Amino acid sequence: MNQAGNTEALLAPPGTIPREAQNFADTNPGPPTVPSTIGSDAQWNIHRVDNGSIQNGFPPNTVYNYQMHTQLPTNEGMNGSTAVGSLTLAPSSAPQDYSAYSTHQNSSADSYGYATTGYTSYYSSYQQQTSHSYSQPIVAYPNTGHPYQPLSSFQNTGSYAAPANYSSTYYNPGDYQTSAGYPTTNYSNQASSQWNEGNYANYSSYQYSNYAPNSAGAYGSVSAPAAPLHYQPQHPQYYGQSHTEVTCAPGTENLSVSATTKLDCHTPVVPGVTRDYSATSQPQQTSAVSWRPEATSFQLPPQQPTTLINGAQESQWNYGASGFTNHQSTAGKPEAYQPFDTTPVYANFQEPQNCVVAGNQGTNLQYHAAHQVPQTNQFPSTLQASQSLDSQRVSKFQIQTNPRIVSNLGSSFVKTEKAGSGTSTASKPAYVSVSLPNPSDKVLSSDASDSALKSGTFPKSLRGYVERTLARCKNDAELSACQGIMKEMITSATADGTLYTRDWDTEPLFPLPSVDEANKVVQYPVSSSTFRSPTRRAKSRWEPLQVEKPQDRLAHVGIPAVNFGGWKKANQRDKMSLGVDSESTEDRVDSMKLSNMEQNVIRSRRPFKRQRIADKPTMMENGNASSDSDKEQSLSSSYSTASSLSNTPEERKRRENRSKRFEKVQGNRTDPYHHLKTKDAGMKNLYTRRATAMVMSKNLDNRGSEAVEDMDWDALTVKGTCQEIEKRYLRLTSAPDPATVRPEDVLEKALAMVQISQKNYLYKCDQLKSIRQDLTVQRIRNGLTVKVYETHARLALEYCDLSEYNQCQSQLKTLYTEGIEGCHMEFSAYSLLCVILHSNNYRDLLSLMSRLPSVAKEDKAVKHALAVRAAVTAGNYIMFFKLYKKAPNLNSYLMDLYVDKMRYMAVCCMSKSYRPNIPVSYISRVLGFACASSANDENEGKEKDGIEECTEWLKAHGACLVTDSNGELQFDAKASSSSLYIPEPEDAVAHGDANLAVDDFLARATS
């Protein structure tokens, strides 16, 4: 059901929102209510229920899933039309609300579902926190932050009592460290060191880059199974909603205040808060502190799992808690609960993550924003009386939470915005005058935000953000630098359409740029490290948190948000495994079945080869994207659905690992969500995409070390039972199902079928890959395996699919060394040729040659390959083309790829050595244009064709041709010697063969 819902949603035009949406809306009380403790509790409960159901694989799940997926499409719709804006708060408009909501998410999170996941994680984390000793700080966080937090989560906090106070405690560095329960030392140490090791280094000039590493790190850490476990035990409690627990929690002990009453806590804490936060810029500091631990916590979990699980979490716990708190603030957006819902989907979310990480500035920003939000907002509120807090919270809450409003704003202001992006710089000074926001101001602004927005200016929150930012500037240079940055931000936000949806109140302030760097490409908060002088950076890397500047903190803050996805997952997993819901397993089974059914659907829309995927963005850039958008969507949805197919915890873990590895391997890979996103934003986002690629590559580096591939392959060895001969290739995202795996005899038939098949290469490649997969899964390594790989390698050679060929070749190499019979000689000839012609690496060549057994040198194919090598090293083109004509096996296909180079080299050589000129017919014959080898009759005609071809080729390469007195075309050597060049290939495609065009594939994939 879930998947069904998803796909449906995806396919459905934005306007038609499936019923589920409504469901969702219903479950989550539409209009945000003031979080009175009781009320909030109630709501929270509801929410909880939802969660539970989700986990159980209950229908509600679907809904949530749906949400995630739909976001993008809806967004599109939303952006295009202002209609959403008109929506009212009334629950009746739920569906619309919903859509608005989704938009909001999108824009704000910018992550395709990814964002949601992240939030989810936060959310979950939040829960955990509450349950914990830490609960106090946590609670506080949500509250403070919380204007943004979705009703459910937020209210919970509310129920806990005065949130503000807690937060303050938490934030207060002093408290933090003093608290007995907290392993403060650990924090600082670990945080700094780990942090530095991995991500810090990566922070380079770009924000993007920063992000990428962060997210990567986060994810990697996420994968660590241990982390999630910690929290599990506590969840139940939390759900039980025993407040006492919270108070009693180990963390609470530390804080006397907390122990007594939550309300009481307020007062004591406040002072601390004020201290830290009175200045707008400072809040980040505290947050940063908290973050640090976070980062640590993520990485640490893997090592500590056992302890945590046991419930003796104290030390570990702290980490988690701190991390979570921060997150919470991040989570403080309405989206927070979505993630909840999405739990089932989270499998998908890794892919999405990729996208997000990779490239979306928007997303990144969002996260940061999220982090900051709580801080800034909180402070004012804390200072104020609790009542004011409440109200403020409420107001904010409404704004943020209600997607509709946000969207309204967005829609109404889109135009102004765009115009504004240009003018924003100019307008900023005005904001400056406003300077430091005082608490009351804040409240007002938040309250008024509704009306203000409607009035048609920039969103109030944005203005506040600008003010805050500019207030930090100490001189004109900084001011202008900041303006530049903000202009960039706003422009990009406008481009993404997130200007109005984004939560500017929570948007982290970017670090003050050094003036000269101010003009760099979009600079976001995270990059703070960039701005520091090297020495400074090095120092801060290792030193404990306190010394850090606010900006630095920011950088850290940004990271956690991204990380959270991982936690969430873990949580979910834990919950499931712990059997918090007794029914969950069964339900899950059901859902799995359902998903299996879905699988068929998915298969029919099988994901295309990654190559193609990688090509996609390019294609879109060329403006072709729109035509394929539907297909893409469906494809991508099938991707995501596919990945969410199985739900067991172990599988999830495996999947995580795998997809992580995948990310590592394929820098270019774009994910479904990414596609959606790109399409969404259209051409506007070109730059985002580029950034994505960049970040991706960063990611690669970052993750390189984190691959944990500790699968138990033995346990996964299956005996297939599938009797179907034809099977499409689908990259496994879970343990193979014997029912879909073909046993050896069927595979043999399948191979024969492919060999005689008349269909095109893509089909055959697909079939062979599925055969290979089945072989691998069943660990069949014998003659058949060799045959399959050989067949595939030959096929790939014929179609110049070198990457596929290389895969096969490397497999064959190991298979041959295992002593399995095959066409060893033929393939050693190929690999020789490959090295000679394509990698041109003398060392490899030498080692290959020296390893050739003397028998091999007698083999026809190997001999030929060696002769080709001699010809190439000598530059003997005559020999080369002679060999080309009599190449055995598929050697000529490999040589094909070198022919052009050889010809060009030859012509260069000729132009220098011949005088005065040479007949083109000679060149044509010598350089293999005319196939002189065929029968005499045809010979003449062919030669003529050859001459024409040769003439064209020569012309294309800038040769000077003259006709002599006999009317014969001549190559003017002297004139040509300075005019030759290598033309740009006209039909160049990334994968080297225009025949394998994406459109072609898509056309077939959907039919």
Partner 1 sequence: MAYLSMGEAHRRITEYLNSFSESVFSQDAASLKLLLCFSSNSPSLLSVADSLNLFQDANRLIKQSDKYSQFGEIIVHLFRSLQNYRLGHSFDAYNAYEKAANAFIQEFRNWDSAWALEALYVVAYEIRILAERADRELASSGKPPEKLKGAGSFLMKVFGVLAGKGPKRVGALYVTCQLFKIYFKLGTVHLCRSVIRSIEAVRIFDFEEFPKRDKVTYMYYTGRLEVFNENFPAADHKLSYALTHCNPHSEANIRMILKYLIPVKLSLGILPQDWLLEKYNLVEYRNVVLALKSGDLRLLRAALDEHEDRFLRSGVYLVLEKLELQVYQRLLKKIYIIQKQKDPSKAHQIKLEVIIKALKWLEIDMDSDEVECIVVILIHKNLVKGYFAHKSKVVVLSKQDPFPKLNGKPVGS
Task: Give the shortest CB-971-to-partner 1 separation in angstroms.
Answer: 9
Shortest spacing between CB 653 and partner 1, in angstroms: 28
Query: CB-wise, 515 or 908, nearer to partner 1?
Result: 908
* CA distances (Å), origin 555, targets 100, 165, 202, 558: 30, 25, 12, 5
What is each CA distance from 330 to 41, 403, 443, 560, 1007, in whole angstroms?
21, 17, 20, 9, 44
List C-alpha distances in Å: 470 to 6, 436, 465, 480: 43, 9, 9, 9
- Minimum distance from residue 772 beta carbon to partner 1 (Å): 24
Residue with Cβ nearer partner 1 (290 or 977): 977
- Please say which residue, 713 or 842, places its beta carbon nearer to partner 1: 842
For residue 776, give the nearest of 766, 758, 788, 764 by alpha carbon: 788
Contacts of 938 (CB under 8 A, 6+ apart): none
Which CB, 415 or 912, lies closer to partner 1?
Answer: 912
Task: Report how far Cα 424 is from the mean position of its chain's Cα atoms.
Answer: 31
Q: Is 57 left (phi over 0), alpha (psi -120 to 50) or beta?
A: left
Kindly tell me which of 763 and 922 has the beta carbon lying closer to partner 1: 922
Nearer Cβ to partner 1 (49/849): 849
Give the integer Cα–Cα distance in Å for 782 and 768: 16
Taking only Cα atoms into account, the Rg of the chain, rounded to an integer number of angstroms, comes to 32
- Shortest distance, position 776 Cβ to partner 1, whole Å: 21
CB 169 within 8 A of CB 289: no
Residue closer to partner 1 by CB (options 419, 846) is 846
- At residue 818, the 3 state secondary structure works out as coil
Strand partners, 972: 917
Name the 3-class secondary structure at 741: coil
Q: Minimum Å distance from CB 844 to partner 1?
A: 9
For the chain, how many residues are written?
Answer: 1007
Identity at 626, one-letter amino acid code? S
In whole angstroms, the minimum distance from the beta carbon of 376 to partner 1 comes to 43
CB of 869 to partner 1, least distance (A): 9
How far apart, in whole angstroms, are the C-alpha atoms of residue 785 and residue 613?
A: 28
**Smallest distance, partner 1 to C-beta of residue 897, A:** 21
Q: Are 303 and 309 in contact (CB under 8 A)?
A: no
Q: Give the HSE-up count for residue 963: Cα atoms under 13 Å, Cβ half-sphere.
A: 3
CB of 666 to partner 1, least distance (A): 23
Please check whether residue 437 is in contact with residue 279, taking contact to mean a CB–CB distance below 8 angstroms.
no
Burial class of residue 737 in the structure, from the number of CB atoms within 10 Å of its CB (0-12 exposed, 13-18 middle, 19+ buried): middle
Kindly state the smallest distance separating residue 881's Cβ from partner 1, in Å: 10
- For Cα atoms 420, 426, 429, give the angle at the middle one, nearest 5 degrees: 120
Binding residues (CB under 8 A) for partner 1: these are 842-843, 845-847, 849-850, 870, 873-879, 908-910, 912-919, 922, 926
Phi, psi of 918 (to 5 degrees): -125, 145
DSSP string, 441-502: HHHHHHHHHHHHHHTTSS-HHHHHHHHHHHHT--SHHHHHHHHHHHHHHHHHHHHHT-TTTS
Task: Output 708 or 870, the one with its CB closest to partner 1.
Answer: 870
CB of 845 to partner 1, least distance (A): 7
CA-wise closest residue to 376 among 148, 210, 648, 570: 148
Closest CB to partner 1 among 33 and 806? Answer: 806
Nearer to partner 1, 244 or 981 (CB): 981
Contact (CB, 8 A) for 358 and 212: yes
* DSSP bridge partners of 971: 918, 961
* CB of 307 vs partner 1, minimal distance in Å: 27
Nearer to partner 1, 594 or 845 (CB): 845
CA distance 944 to 398: 79
What is the smallest separation between the CB atom of 875 and partner 1, expressed in angstroms? 5
- β-bridge partners, 963: 969
CB of 882 to partner 1, least distance (A): 8
CB 656 within 8 A of CB 663: no
Name the one residue in this structure whose structure tokens are 């992580």: 660
Nearer Cβ to partner 1 (417/859): 859
For residue 329, CA distances in Å to 142, 504, 749 come to 6, 13, 58
Q: Which is nearer to partner 1, 752 or 878 (CB)?
A: 878
In the complex, what is the shortest distance from the CB of residue 920 to partner 1, in angstroms, rounded to a whole number? 11
Give 682 or 919: the residue with its C-beta nearer to partner 1.
Answer: 919
Nearer to partner 1, 719 or 886 (CB): 886
Strands (DSSP E) along 33-137, which ranges? none
With respect to partner 1, which residue has the nearer C-beta, 926 or 1005?
A: 926
Quote the least distance from Cβ 812 to partner 1, whole Å.
19
Side by side, the strands of the sheet bearing 961-963 are 917-919, 969-972, 961-963
Residue 76 per-residue DSSP state: H
Q: Which amino acid is at 86?
A: S
Q: Which is nearer to partner 1, 261 or 873 (CB)?
A: 873
Distance between alpha carbon 919 and the CA centroid of its chain, in Å? 58
Cβ closer to partner 1: 601 or 899?
899
Q: Are 972 and 961 in contact (CB under 8 A)?
A: yes
User: Which residue's structure tokens are 């007698």?
Assistant: 858
Using a 10 angstrom Cβ sphere, with 0-12 exposed, 13-18 middle and 19 or more buried, the burial of residue 39 is middle
User: Least distance to partner 1 from the beta carbon of 853, Å?
Assistant: 11
In the complex, the smallest distance separating the C-beta of residue 132 from partner 1, rounded to whole angstroms, is: 38
